[in-house]
Chain A
Amino acid sequence: MRSILPALIVLLVAVTPVLAPTSQVLLTLAFAKGLAVLGIIVLLQAGQVSFGHALYFAVSAYVAASVARSFGGELVTTLLAGVAAAAVVGLVVGVFVVRYRYIFFAMLNLAVSMIFFALLEKFYYVTGGSDGLQVPRPTVVGLTLERGEFETILFYGALVLSLLAAWGTHRYLASPLGNMLRAIKTNEVRLEYLGVSARSTLLSGYVLSAALCGLGGALMAVAQGIVTPEYAYWVRSGEFVFIAILGGSGSVAGAFVGALIYEGVRTYAAAFASDIWQMVLGIVLLVIIIFGPSGVTGLYQRLMDRLVGPARPRGAGDSERAPGAAE
């Protein structure tokens, strides 16, 4: 019963190129952001929030852009190179930041991303400065495609990658490692007294989150055809956190539900509210946190609970819980 609507949404999204070709690029961008948001959600499981994950989005996007520019760029290698770069940077930064929690964790991530943002503008002879880099359209299995064909392929590629990433992340969070990650939020002392290193556990989650953000960034780069320092700006990081809370920080589906709603609203509403867009986001964020901390997917779960009764005994291994929901 409760999986009917999600299945319908996936189906509806999948036929978009046929029914509403104009929204195809928009949805591809929503998938790219959804993947990055998935990375944020992984960290929220450990009770941590990063204000700097646009760093990984940007690192991957710039590496993907360079690969596409200098090696003639096959789509798969372009994306892979971006993700790999994000994961490596995530490992290096992660070794440092996983020593910290809460506001330190949030702000140290922000600091690293701001440094990278500043460097992107300073080293303009490599990065193109504030104009950014053009990303030539990559080939797909050796074929050079027309713009329309490429966009359709990219759309389905993004859809498949998103489904795979959501499935993989869901499995990860249900696995022993994922449960240990969630245990960091509630009791690190006990985790250490079970013989588990809380830092290594968080690091594994951190690298995963960086790779997911990287996948999103590389997709965004090839979809937009240009990368700019804005990719690394704090506004972008804030957007990811916002979407995670909007969609529901406890579930992998929330990342994509949130991203679809966000991109949709932004495209049609931002024109009327471009000057106060951050303000609108801030106010919505406050409302969600104070009145409904489990986001859109949480509302859906509650609605379903009311309609068809609880799906399973409370707390039996589900990851669909928002920060604070158990308090």
Chain B
Amino acid sequence: MSSKVLMAAKGLEIRFGGVVAADDVNIEIHEGHNLAIIGPNGAGKTTFLNICTGYLKPHRGSVTFDGRDVTGLAPRRLVRMGVARAFQIPQLFTEHTVIENLLIAAAAQARRWSPLTPIATIPERGEMLHLLDMVRCAHIADRPVSELPEGQRKLIDIALALALKPKLLFMDEPTSGVASSEKFEVLDIIAKALAEAKVTAVFVEHDIGIVERFADEVAVWNRGEVLFRGVPGEILSHPDVIRDVIGETV
């Protein structure tokens, strides 16, 4: 792989009680190459995201981002360096409207702390409306997020991460909760937005069709380990992967 290494995990280990959620995980994430993570439930995929974004501190091993050691840094520090995250269950401000959610993100990104300027008037408002347009949510800008269906909440969740203008974005099952007939459409929207913003994405996904279409590389997780890694065509036709992972999830 010739492109630049954006993030590298070395020898990650973590266990909860007797369960090993990461067992010597080594993986590099390359700029511009979207990486899909697949594997059975409980394989440690979300744990990996939690470690890479600072939510959990590994018992052993290290994470570097842009060549700097970021092991154990709090999520907010990693966010400021350019690592954002979207969640499996959308994490939104449920007493705010859609646009307010985004404005909070934009104000955080642009460090607008002035306590006397209304958030509705910050200069980033236009940009946020554009972002909403990009994820096809412009028409619901003034709706409270608590009223939205899961699919739209998911898009807003991703838009919040994009509002931070990250270099690297982790997405935990971006299409879970979205009706299967709409999955491709939703991911098309996301992929376009990512490409426009030049963001490298790492996403956990169960739907093999989606992985084939949107990932440049695939990593297969099981029992806290990376079993295989490569281009989708190769990995997804590997007999072991078909038996252990695909057979289970389709």
The interface of chain A, by Cβ under 8 A from chain B, is: 168, 171-172, 174-180, 182-183, 185-187, 189-197, 204, 313-317, 321, 326
Q: Which residue of chain A lies nearest to B117 when distances are taken between CB atoms in the complex?
A: A175
Q: Of residues A175, A191, A326, which shows the largest number of chain B Cβ atoms within 10 Å of its Cβ?
A: A175
Q: Find out whether the CB atom of A182 lies under 8 angstroms from the CB atom of B95.
A: yes
- What 7 additional pairs, Cβ within 8 angstroms, besides A176-B103, A187-B91, A194-B105? A172-B115, A175-B114, A176-B112, A180-B107, A192-B75, A317-B100, A317-B118
Q: List 9 A-B contacts (CB under 8 A).
A: A179-B100, A179-B104, A187-B91, A192-B79, A193-B84, A194-B79, A194-B160, A195-B80, A316-B97
CA distance A30 to B14 in the complex (A): 57
Of B91, B116, B144, which one neighbours A193 at CB under 8 angstroms?
A: B91
B180 at the interface (CB under 8 A from A): no
Chain A residues whose CB sits within 8 angstroms of the CB of B115 once the complex forms = 171-172, 175, 177-178, 204
CA distance A168 to B93 in the complex (A): 24
Chain B residues whose CB sits within 8 angstroms of the CB of A185 once the complex forms = 95
B19 at the interface (CB under 8 A from A): no
Q: Which residue of chain B lies nearest to A314 when distances are taken between CB atoms in the complex?
A: B144
B223 at the interface (CB under 8 A from A): no
Q: Find out whether the CB atom of A183 lies under 8 angstroms from the CB atom of B96.
A: yes
Of A190, A192, A197, A317, which one neighbours B160 at CB under 8 angstroms?
A: A190
Q: Mark B152-178, 1 if CB is under 8 A from A, else 0.
A: 000000001100100000000000000
Chain A residues whose CB sits within 8 angstroms of the CB of B108 once the complex forms = 176, 180, 194-196
Q: A174-B120, A176-B119 are in contact. Are A193 and B94 (CB under 8 A)?
A: no
Q: Which residue of chain B lies nearest to A181 when distances are taken between CB atoms in the complex?
A: B115
CA distance A186 to B80 in the complex (A): 22
Q: Find out whether the CB atom of A326 lies under 8 angstroms from the CB atom of B104.
A: no
Q: A194-B104, A195-B76, A316-B142 are in contact. Are A179 and B119 (CB under 8 A)?
A: yes
B47 at the interface (CB under 8 A from A): no
Q: Find out whether the CB atom of A176 lies under 8 angstroms from the CB atom of B92.
A: no
B231 at the interface (CB under 8 A from A): no
B71 at the interface (CB under 8 A from A): no
B62 at the interface (CB under 8 A from A): no
B16 at the interface (CB under 8 A from A): no
Q: Which residue of chain A lies nearest to B90 when distances are taken between CB atoms in the complex?
A: A190
Chain A residues whose CB sits within 8 angstroms of the CB of B104 once the complex forms = 176, 179-180, 183, 191, 194
